[in-house]
Homo-oligomer: A and B are copies of this chain.
Amino acid sequence: MIRFIDVTKVYANGVVGLAGANLHVGKGEFAFIVGESGSGKSTLLKLITREETPNTGEVQVNGYNVHAMGRWEVPLLRRSLGMVFQDFRLLPNRTAYENVAFAMQMVESLPREIRRQVPLALGLVGLGKKARSYPSQLSGGEQQRVVLARALVNNPAVLIADEPTGNLDPKTSWEIMNLLDEVNQRGTTVLVATHEKNIVDAMKKRVISLERGTIISDAEKGRYEHED
């Protein structure tokens, strides 16, 4: 599903985001990406969604070289990905409902489908009651969950989540992680960058550890702190 071949990303100012990464995440897998602040987790995820392009190496999604895609193919790539990013990115002049519906409208779903799926998705993340609130009227954690609902609503083949529980209390965080697990059970490939040590340790999933841009460990049923 997702493959990194010798991928290096050096930012314009010379900072190394990712160094010679090799990685394969198969269809239907669930993997955590962990590492200190600034270790390159977001960089890795942005290379998949083509918000950044690698300096050397190749990133493949579904067998396609993401870097080699034409501009017009990028939206099609994104449609197969559900994305949750650190800076929440909701449309400020639309309600939570409209924000989620928007993602479905962009892939030209039927209005009937939209009316059915959106409340479902908002309910899943525990925001059924906040459907009519605008982003500015939501707490940090609530905004984050709207973004997650938006990422899930199109049943994407891959879900990319960058610290989806960064602003959530432990209880809600667990609910969200269980939700992601459930989504994964239904066949979606899930990639989550996170700092939730407790959850990572408890869930016994694949864990990819980064340190200063390098993958220093990649363990099935791994733990937050890797054992060398």
Contact = CB atoms under 8 A, between A and B. Distances in A.
Interface of A: 11, 13, 15, 34-39, 41-42, 86-87, 133, 137-142, 145, 162-163, 166-173, 195, 197-198, 224
Number of copies: 2
Contact of A37 (B37, B162, B168, B195): B168
Contacts of A36: 169, 171-172
Contacts of A145: 37
A145 B36 CA distance: 13
A24 to B, nearest CB: 25
Nearest to A127: B38
A130 to B, nearest CB: 8
Lowest 7 CB-CB distances: which A-B pairs, in order? A37-B141, A86-B140, A169-B195, A166-B166, A38-B139, A170-B197, A36-B169
Dominant secondary structure of chain A at its interface with chain B: loop
B34 A169 contact: yes
A224 B173 CA distance: 15
Given A166-B167, A167-B195, A171-B36, A42 B86 contact: no
A13 B134 CA distance: 10
A167 B37 contact: yes
Contact of A169 (B11, B37, B142, B167): B37
A167 B86 contact: yes
Nearest to A198: B198
A189 to B, nearest CB: 23
Given A42-B139, A86-B140, 16 more contacts: A11-B137, A13-B133, A13-B137, A15-B133, A35-B169, A37-B141, A37-B145, A37-B167, A38-B142, A41-B139, A42-B140, A87-B140, A140-B166, A170-B195, A170-B197, A198-B198
Contacts of A140: 37, 42, 86-87, 162-163, 166
Contacts of A39: 169
A132 to B, nearest CB: 8
Nearest to A193: B140
